[in-house]
Amino acid sequence: MNTSFLATVLIVLMILLIVSSLGMGLYYLVRDQGKSKRTVKALSVRIVLSFVLFIALFVAFAMGWLTPHGLFAQ
């Protein structure tokens, strides 16, 4: 399998996990009405996943697994 494809799959998976964690945070906020710590935990997980994705993007660009393309890639 190509490393570029693997990096892309990892990025898409991380974005899906971030969105699902955000959705869980909203669900817990509405369901528990702010009386439990589950909302804070879900949103903390989202922040950590976003940070990991940010670092993974830097590593992927540095290793050459992802390359810019499109209008501004010259």
Region 6-34 average pLDDT? 89
More confident residue, 42 or 67: 42
pLDDT band with cut points at 50, 70 and 90 for residue 73: low
pTM above 0.95, yes or no: no
Q: Which CA distances in Å does 8 have to 16, 17, 38? A: 12, 14, 30
pLDDT at 33: 79
Taking 70 as the threshold, does the pLDDT of residue 69 lie above it?
yes
Per-residue exposure over 23-56, b if at least 16 CB sit within 10 Å of its own CB, e if not = ebbeebbeeeeeeeeebeebbebbeebbeebeeb
Give me the pLDDT at residue 72, please. Answer: 65
